[in-house]
Structure 1
Amino acid sequence: MPSDPAFLQQMIIELLAALRETRRQNEELQHRLDLLLRRLYGPRTERFDPNQPLLIPDAFEPLAPEPEPSVTGDAVAPEPEPEPGAAPAKKNRSHGRRPLPKNLRREPRVYELTEAERRCPQCGETRAQISAERSEQLDYVPATLFVVEHALHLRLPALRRSSRHRRQASPADPQGFAWTGTTSSCDHGKYADHIPLHRQERRLARQGWSCHAQPSATGWPAPPKSRAALRPDEDIGPVVRHDSHRRHVGEAADSERKIKALARLWIYFGDHLYPYNVLISRGAISETVRVCFSGFRGYLQADAFSGYDGIYAGGNVVEVGCNAHARRKFVEAQKTDLTRASTALAYYRQLYAIEKQIKAELAKLPEDANEPTRAAIRLRVRQERAVPVWESLEKWLKEERPQVLPKSPMGGAIGYMKNHWEALKRYTSSGYLSIDNNVAEQHMKTIATGRKNWLFTGSETGGKTMAVLFSVVSSCQRHGHDPFVYLRDVLSRLPVLPKENLADLLPDRWSPPQAADPAATPEGPIADGSPS
């Protein structure tokens, strides 16, 4: 052991520095372990307890929003204060069973007494009916398979001089063995209900037909022109929400091991001018972003993925950040720095409360109110109420950033906000933008749910087909259509529809068909054609 005091002092300094670094790494690893355990076993909610700030009330007194007039400018009457000691008013809740929908087909079943039971045992006369006790119960009939026989009539002229005349009497695909109802049921089951093909095989086997699903995105042969025509137009509007999701294409045999081929599924969530959800299956990340946004001019709302930096540099695409990502980082930092995390979440609670109030006020507008009117209201309220909150949040971030370690969870959360400050705040400068990208991410979650059931797409061609069908099903759900009814009608009309009328079949223009034939009505043989 050296005896030089100066040397020993230097050793102590180095040991303390090493100890601090070890503790920092320990905290970082513990934080990552906590996140992993929470993802596996903990609650998924990121709900913020509004009572949490009461632990440090001084930090939140300036954040309390003052009562302001409504979005439309009308004065709001204050709610009467309850009398001291009076119990809070309870909301009336309906009791009992809810009535069954009126649009469901009714099958009356009458239960009558026998002839002997109707007669009075004393006088022998027939008892008069005084009332009827009625009740309703919901029943279910599984989907029914049936065979559609197509007959193409050939006509020969009487003079026998011209060639035979052949007319397609029905939109049938002579190369396919599945009719539109079966194909639509399969696609609906996989892309809307996340039922893999092997489970649909067992369901069809129970109904009397055994089949083997093909290893592709859809197991049913369908007209290639029909599949291609289902792809929505890719002229994206001025505001796009974007997200991506990894998927497995298949396994490629290697000399020593099997390599899983990976690709990405990209979603484009359009605005009011382009009301579709387009999903594209591509491989390379940077190439996909460059090609898909080569001619795009407008706002792009996405996460802070570095692959987008190249298109932002050109100036044609304006970056809009996702505040849900920024807020989530403070949620993850609560365990290591509760005070600062609670302060940041309190700011975000005010910002989301403003968005909730805007949505409530917009719901009071007439249904025919156009999007520019709604956007003007959003912009005005955000400028009046949200911008001051952002200014207070920026001041707080500047004060707290020097006091936290840059690589700590709180330092990472504050650094994320400072690095993407303009993008996160940009939604306050336009009424057409949203505070976060949750809408696009929620649609990607449905794909993640299906991935757990059917993992692989089979091939790159299967991935492209999957992207087309996901686009159609997701757009149908966005407009409130039943994907099965939509697919069945569109696949029936596509082969005989003129090319110039294809745009009428897009989800925002399509209307449900009239129940003309028995096969399309609830009383027909495919009344319960939706996958079970």
Structure 2
Amino acid sequence: MVATAQDAVPDDIGALRAALTAALARAEDEAARAALVEAELAVARAKASDDAALIAHQHLTIRKLQRALHGQSSERSARLHDQMELTFEELESTATEDEIAAEQAAARTTEVAPYMRKRPARQPFPEHLPRERVVEPAPAACHCCGGHRLRKLGEDITETLEVVPRQWKVIQHVREKFTCRDCETISQAPAPFHATPRGWAGPGLLAMILFEKFGQHQPLNRQAERYAREGVPLSLSTLADQVGAGAAALMPLFKQLEAHVLAASRLHGDDTTVPVLAKGKTDTGRLWTYVRDDRPFGGADPPAAVFYYSRDRRGEHPATHLAGWSGILQADAFGGYVKRSGDLTPWAN
């Protein structure tokens, strides 16, 4: 006769209870061992992630020191530096995530200590930020004896940094009309000033649109999508119209800056690549920079820089930029610069 699992079950209730208790004890032991192994693995993983983040941070620090010491400013070096920062960012996030997981795993056992990362002391929050005091409810009675005769001894303050979500609003500029009881002439305050024609966008919104596009490299379609999610639908053409109007409003300031830069007898010139979204691909544009800075030579005039954009690197662009200027141009050996007579060779790049 073949024995089955059912035959192994005792008929006696006491024996059955003892067998069940033993089975539960074995299950608890196995669960404890599994929790121990899981905690040990989590702690080991957290330590490995922390080591990887530390190594990446040290490599990034060395790279920054090398750039500061040797002045490496090539495009390849800049791309490598950016890639190293992205790698460090990912490793740092992973290390913190693994640290929290190890802490949670260690809390399920008493035999493994959680892994705590060594962090530099956090800098205090800027003093210019407003402080909002939130006083936690005080205890009504002593937690030791239950007495109610409590006297304030002091306080501990823990600061957390918070951000107030962006709030949209519509400002109504009201121009009341008045009629003269003597001559029946209607009087009204003049319309408020707007930086752009048909100024439906306030100065704060206009500045945000321009900064997001040119300072943060956020295309207008991305901005339109984000604004729509916040409950303010603005079409792409509407935003583009404001960008053009804002550029026109800033043109007098640009002309003043351009005149100041091109009034110098010595300029530093260079160009750098700029990724440009094109149909079905990413194109490469050029940003041309001309800097006026005579401080190293004892000059007292304020330094300044002017930028021009082009879709390619043809030599006609610097020729156009500097058509009405004469002086010493310190630049690299690009043909568009070399064609200018009297320019310095690339020792100053």
Q: Give the TM-score band, short-chain normalised.
A: 0.5 to 0.7
Which has the greater radius of gyration?
2
Task: Give per-residue Cα distances to partners, 1:454-473, cap 9 Å, x unaligned.
Answer: xxxxxxxxxxxxxxxxxxxx
**What letter is aligned with 1:278?**
V
Task: Give per-residue Cα distances to partners, 1:279-325, cap 9 Å, x unaligned.
Answer: 2235783333233223323221221101122222xx4xx3152xxxx
User: Please, what TM-score do these two structures have when normalized by structure 2?
Assistant: 0.53
Query: Partners of 2:201 and 2:153 in 1: how far apart?
Result: 54
Task: Give per-residue Cα distances to partners, 1:364-422, cap 9 Å, x unaligned.
Answer: xxxxxxxxxxxxxxxxxxxxxxxxxxxxxxxxxxxxxxxxxxxxxxxxxxxxxxxxxxx
1:228 to 242, 246, 251: 251
Does residue 183 in structure 1 map to residue 212 in structure 2?
no
**RMSD, aligned α-carbons:** 4.0
Contact 1:119 1:125 in 2 (8 A): no
1:217 deviates by: 6.7
Query: Partners of 1:294 and 1:263 in 2: how far apart?
Result: 21
Relative to 1, partners in 2 of residues 1:281 and 1:160: Cα closer, same or farther, differing over 3 Å? farther
Does residue 96 in structure 1 map to residue 121 in structure 2?
yes
Query: Partners of 2:292 and 2:309 in 1: how far apart?
Result: 17
Task: Give per-residue Cα distances to partners, 1:48-74, cap 9 Å, x unaligned.
Answer: xxxxxxxxxxxxxxxxxxxxxxxxxxx
Quote the residue 1:240 is aligned against.
Answer: 267
User: Please, what TM-score do these two structures have when normalized by structure 1?
Assistant: 0.36
Query: Partners of 2:278 and 2:184 in 1: how far apart?
Result: 57
Query: Partners of 2:121 and 2:282 in 1: how far apart?
Result: 53
Query: Partners of 1:243 and 1:218 in 2: how far apart?
Result: 31
Is the partner of 1:211 in helix, strand or coil?
coil
Relative to 1, partners in 2 of residues 1:127 and 1:213: Cα closer, same or farther, differing over 3 Å? same
Higher relative contact order (CA closer than 8 Å, sequence separation 6+) = 1
Contact 1:152 1:169 in 2 (8 A): no
Query: Partners of 2:144 and 2:204 in 1: how far apart?
Result: 55
Relative to 1, partners in 2 of residues 1:302 and 1:174: Cα closer, same or farther, differing over 3 Å? closer
Q: How many residues align?
A: 226
Quote the residue 1:505 is aligned against.
Answer: none
Does residue 132 in structure 1 map to residue 161 in structure 2?
no
Quote the residue 1:280 is aligned against.
Answer: 308
Q: 1:332-411 residue pairs with structure 2 within 5 A?
A: none
**What letter is aligned with 1:189?**
E
* Structure 1: stretches of 5+ with no match in the other structure: 1-38, 46-93, 252-257, 322-423, 425-434, 437-532
Contact 1:176 1:221 in 2 (8 A): no
Q: 1:47-62 residue pairs with structure 2 within 5 A?
A: none
Quote the residue 1:267 is aligned against.
Answer: 289
1:139 deviates by: 1.1
* Structure 2: stretches of 5+ with no match in the other structure: 1-75, 83-118, 295-300
Relative to 1, partners in 2 of residues 1:281 and 1:216: Cα closer, same or farther, differing over 3 Å? farther
Contact 1:213 1:219 in 2 (8 A): no
Quote the residue 1:108 is aligned against.
Answer: 133
Query: Partners of 1:296 and 1:276 in 2: how far apart?
Result: 16
Contact 2:315 2:335 in 1 (8 A): no
Quote the residue 1:194 is aligned against.
Answer: 217
Query: Partners of 2:193 and 2:125 in 1: how far apart?
Result: 37
Task: Give per-residue Cα distances to partners, 1:35-57, cap 9 Å, x unaligned.
Answer: xxxx69x9559xxxxxxxxxxxx
Query: Partners of 2:317 and 2:80 in 1: how far apart?
Result: 35
Is the partner of 2:161 in helix, strand or coil?
coil
Contact 1:232 1:278 in 2 (8 A): no
Relative to 1, partners in 2 of residues 1:159 and 1:173: Cα closer, same or farther, differing over 3 Å? farther
1:172 deviates by: 6.3
Quote the residue 1:414 is aligned against.
Answer: none
Contact 1:232 1:276 in 2 (8 A): no
Quote the residue 2:324 is aligned against.
Answer: 295
Using the aligned pairs only, state the percent identity.
24
